Every structure is written in structure tokens, then in C-alpha cells.
Amino acid sequence: NAGVTQTPKFRVLKTGQSMTLLCAQDMNHEYMYWYRQDPGMGLRLIHYSVGEGTTAKGEVPDGYNVSRLKKQNFLLGLESAAPSQTSVYFCASSYSSFDEQFFGPGTRLTVL
């Protein structure tokens, strides 16, 4: 099993550009999450999904959109990137909300 994979691993954007981060999991997990990690701030939840076709806002959702059209995939979109969105983005999945989350390797995004 590959576990949780993220595409791409690195990306540099200019202010105003758009992009989509792809997360895929092969563990048949219902729950999927997108976090951002910034120095000294831990991980902050952007959006999450409790099943195929469902999404919900987390702690810092502004400037991001998500979609979960297939159970195994969770996409994070930035419609108009801003320098404040420079961060490392992690996707995670879990079987239920009681279970531990499995994390992907992360995407390092820089917005100039």
C-alpha cells in the first residue's frame, strides 16, 4: 500500500495564480483532511471531508476550496494565490474520527 500520497511535492507560484493539490489514499478511509504547517503554529486544519461528496470548513478555510468527488481523492484548490499561503500543506486520512490520522509527505508551496 502506498498510504497517503500528495502531488506535487514542491511548487512555486506567483501572486494571483491558481493551482490544485492532489491527495490520494488507498486505505479506503472515509475521513480526509487538509492542513497547513507554519513555523511555531503547529498544524491548522483548512478543510476536511467525512465521506465521498462531502466537505466542511476547518480552522483556516479562507482562500481555499476543496472537492471529494471520489472516496480516495481529496483536492485542495487555491483560486488566487497570496504570499500568506506560503506554507507546507499536509493531507491526512483516517478510518473514523476516533482513529489516528495517516499523513502524506507534504507539499511545500511558495507564493511570490
Partner 1 sequence: AQSVAQPEDQVNVAEGNPLTVKCTYSVSGNPYLFWYVQYPNRGLQFLLKYITGDNLVKGSYGFEAEFNKSQTSFHLKKPSALVSDSALYFCAVRDGGDYKLSFGAGTTVTVRA
Q: Which residues bind partner 1 (CB under 8 A)?
A: 4, 31, 33, 35, 40-45, 48, 50, 56, 58-59, 90, 92, 97-98, 100-106
User: Which residue, 67 or 108, is less far from partner 1 as judged by CB?
Assistant: 108
Least distance between partner 1 and beta carbon 70 (Å): 20
**Measured from the CB of residue 5, what is the shortest distance to partner 1 in angstroms?**
10
As a whole number of angstroms, the distance between CA 16 and CA 39 comes to 24
Q: Write the DSSP assignment of 16-46 as a string of letters.
A: T--EEEEEEESS--SEEEEEEE-TTS-EEEE
Nearer to partner 1, 85 or 104 (CB): 104
Nearer to partner 1, 17 or 45 (CB): 45
39: left (phi over 0), alpha (psi -120 to 50) or beta: beta
- Which residues share a beta bridge with 44? 36
